[in-house]
A and B are shown apart, each in its own frame.
Chain A
Amino acid sequence: MTPGELTEKHWDVIVIGTGIGGGTIGRRLAERGLSVLFVEKGRAGHRAEQNHMASDEITDPVARLVRGSWPETIHARIEGGEHRVHPAIGAAVGGSSVFYAATLERPEPHDLDHSAERPHPTNGWPVSFSAMLPYFDAAQALFEVRGQPDPLATHPTPNLTAGPAMCEGDARLMEGMRRSGLHPYQLHSAMRGLDGCGSCLGRKCPRPCKLDGRSAGVEPALATGRAAIADRCEVTELRGDDIRVTRVVARRDGETLEFTASHVVLAAGALSSPRILLASRSDWAEGCGNARGQVGRYLMFHLNEMFALWPRRKEGYPQAAKSIGFRDLYHAEGHRFGMVQAMGLDAGEGEILSYLRGKIARSPLRRLPGASQMARIPAKVAARVLGQAKVFVGLLEDMPYAENRVSADPNRPGGILIDYRFSPELHQRRKLFRKLIRASLGRQRVLFLTYQPELNFGHPCGSLRMGTDPAKSVVNAECRVHGMRNLWVADASFMPTSMGVNPSLTIAANALRVGDAILKAAGTSDLEQRAMSLVS
């Protein structure tokens, strides 16, 4: 169908955004018989593409968008300092997920639930872990998640299937962790591992192998014959009245298009769904769903604590470890931290060099001309002596603060503006997390590769917070925008807290849950309509 034809049809559901949340909910609804229109800012692209997310070297917005990457820089005010960065965010069919490492990890009960032993910063999500559990199971099945069960898990994972055989080096590294008293396991991965699998971490998978918002969401949805996609369409605002969204307004090649549907799902990502609501001012003075000024607030990211881990002498191996994780420090000494996992990278000379340069920049040596260049020599020596290290990351949970927020950049139409401050408790928790990581690995050699707290811009969440009190949240327990009958949220924006794991599985599971709520609402309104027609 042409974009013109897509505007003429009245859809059961419009899904804005096609990442892990949008793709999953669109598929669920199309498979259950509803007509679904995906509206996507990025391009459909070519299925054989296998590029990484565009690096900083590619600055042209057109070239970035062709590569499925967010075209513009974001303006981030971090601790009052001004930064303009290209975020690790996708803009393509499949969203960021076409680039992701497909690590689909289930959160812990304490991520969602409040208890006396593990008090929750928001007194618990409005939906409990046990209510989410069937959806976690369903998402694990839908994304064909493979790996080893976490030895420390409190609930079984019936739909997790065995992962591929681990390489000998990874197995030895895990053995070393076990000797240090840790409980490592093979990470939970949404890759089919077809013959000749290129383990497409960080890049588009050209085959039906990696399961992401495109391959496990949009493509199966389109295969039902009930879904369609309007790509290269940037949603500029929603139109409607006090209780309902009636139209979705988008720009395509400079032309304005309007789509209509009975239900609208926001799944443009935690940095974009709030901006769509804030920009919807034609019919809502403060923006749609923003009468209480809550849209865009409580923005969270994970902090990446990256470190290099050297295998024991004579136990080095050429493959990059990418399949090991452990949760021994997930919640420790009364604090929320997060899980530790392999990044699928080797650390060599370059990483040691950047470590040394960081060290020099913080010492009186920084005034010595050429010191930064001189660091190459010890870096080279260290890389020779120590061999290749494996890079791991500790994901540190971030807490929700109303002042940390995303908004529309007043200086650039469609631009993202982020205001973020590190809280004192985050600094403290971070220090402790690093200490515990180092201690937990015993006598294995560890080198932290980051000094300053590093925000993981690929894991934004929380900006359309789910809650029961409309004064402190944007969506209710079923992710329907407070006061609106047909506006829903199915991306990471809903998360009241950022958890200690990668967000993808939770986004997918929640999308399935919101899908069920929409099916129920659509069924009710169908009944209403039928009853009305009988009466008349």
Chain B
Amino acid sequence: MTLAIVTGAGQGLGRAVALELVARGCIVAGLARSESDLAATSKLCATAGAFHPIACDVSDYDALRGAFDAIRRIGPIAILINNAAVYPRRDFLDETPESFMHTMAINLGGMVACSRLALEDMVSRGTGRIVNVTSFADLAPIPASGAYSVSKGAGRIFTRALVADLEGRFPDIVISDWIPGALRTAMGLPDGIHPADAARWGAELALSSDPSLNGTLWERNNEVLEPQSLKRRVFNRLMLRPAPTPRMLCAA
């Protein structure tokens, strides 16, 4: 049995990823604020008993501790998909310090808190998989998206910081970023990718635990490589080294 946690499993991408993981044989603990949303996800589940709805706000860290205690009673946590996020459209002049930091507390704080709690299990077993759902919103923030952009950019930094701390010590705890792209969800765009399609990539990524995936960044189903300096590229060419090629997830 592989136990996976999916945050934000009541709607959109999180629901789709949870269903996909169940379809692939996992037991899924789904976190979301709304019990009725979770009940709807449960109803869509093909396998009875494979989805455990857990109503919890990821920005309430004490509640989260209780939720993880409940999840540990199901079994050891093998996979964590940090998907829960909010995207309030708000001009910065309409933000208060509290409203801005509340978005941070969900998008970044939830990711940090869930990772810290899931790592308790992963560190004691020496194995685990964390996929952080992030975005490139930080590269060129669009208007009325300040808190979201900051939190999502910070999410990618958080992934790299986690890898810096853990990679050498726990090579079998594999952590990566996944940017699913613009989705046809309440948070996304009407002409975006169907969440069920994106979920196949996400589930495949979460179920791939080769240590070489540690610290990698994926956009949709493609690996995004670190850009190489000109000097490095010239050097590789001179040394007849092949240019690195990005990997692809099988599921199209």
Contact = CB atoms under 8 A, between A and B. Distances in A.
B239 A50 contact: no
A141 B123 CA distance: 32
B245 interface: no
A376 B240 CA distance: 12
B170 interface: yes
B117 to A, nearest CB: 16
Contacts of B123: 46, 48
Contacts, number: 27
Contact of B126 (A50, A52, A376): A50
Interface string A44-66: 00111111100000000000001
A376 B239 contact: yes
A383 B123 CA distance: 40
Interface string A201-219: 0000010000000000000
Contacts of A47: 124
Contacts of B168: 51-52, 67
A321 to B, nearest CB: 24
B169 interface: yes
A380 interface: yes
Interface in B220-247: 239
A331 to B, nearest CB: 41
Given A376-B239, A380-B239, A48 B171 contact: no
B89 interface: no
Contacts of B170: 46, 48-50
B125 interface: yes
Interface in A358-386: 376, 380
B239 A206 contact: no
Interface in B107-134: 123-126
A270 to B, nearest CB: 27
Contacts of A376: 239
Interface string A374-415: 001000100000000000000000000000000000000000
Contacts of A52: 168
A50 B171 contact: yes
A67 B239 contact: no
Nearest to A52: B168
B164 to A, nearest CB: 9
Nearest to B168: A51
A47 B126 CA distance: 8
A376 B239 CA distance: 9
Listed residue (A50, A52, A67) with the most chain B CB atoms within 10 angstroms of its CB: A50
A47 B165 CA distance: 16
B237 to A, nearest CB: 13
Contacts of A206: 126
Interface string B157-176: 00000000100111100000
B239 A49 contact: no
B169 A51 contact: yes
A66 B168 CA distance: 11
A504 B225 CA distance: 44
Contacts of A67: 168-169
A48 B169 CA distance: 8
Contacts of B239: 376, 380
Nearest to B127: A48
Contacts of A51: 168-169
Contacts of A49: 126, 169-170
A25 to B, nearest CB: 28
B171 A46 contact: no
Listed residue (B125, B165, B168, B171) with the most chain A CB atoms within 10 angstroms of its CB: B168
A49 B165 CA distance: 12
Interface in B69-93: none
Contacts of B165: 66
Nearest to B171: A50
Interface in A183-234: 206
A50 to B, nearest CB: 6
A129 B124 CA distance: 44
A76 to B, nearest CB: 26
A140 to B, nearest CB: 30
Interface in A422-462: none
Contacts of A50: 126, 169-171
A67 B125 CA distance: 18
A194 to B, nearest CB: 14
B235 to A, nearest CB: 9
Nearest to B123: A46
Nearest to B128: A48
Listed residue (A48, A49, A66, A206) with the most chain B CB atoms within 10 angstroms of its CB: A48
Contacts of B169: 46, 49-51, 66-67
A68 B170 CA distance: 14
Contacts of B171: 50
B102 to A, nearest CB: 32
A380 B235 CA distance: 13
A404 to B, nearest CB: 34
B29 to A, nearest CB: 22
A261 to B, nearest CB: 32
Contacts of B124: 46-48
Interface in A20-59: 46-52
Contacts of B125: 48
A30 to B, nearest CB: 25
A262 B171 CA distance: 43
Contacts of A46: 123-124, 169-170
A66 B169 CA distance: 9
Given A48-B124, A48-B125, A206-B126, 17 more contacts: A46-B124, A46-B170, A47-B124, A48-B123, A48-B126, A48-B170, A49-B126, A50-B126, A50-B169, A50-B170, A50-B171, A51-B168, A51-B169, A66-B165, A66-B169, A67-B169, A376-B239
27 contacts: A46-B123, A46-B124, A46-B169, A46-B170, A47-B124, A48-B123, A48-B124, A48-B125, A48-B126, A48-B170, A49-B126, A49-B169, A49-B170, A50-B126, A50-B169, A50-B170, A50-B171, A51-B168, A51-B169, A52-B168, A66-B165, A66-B169, A67-B168, A67-B169, A206-B126, A376-B239, A380-B239
Return the 3 tightest CB-CB contacts between A and B, nearest first. Answer: A48-B126, A51-B169, A51-B168
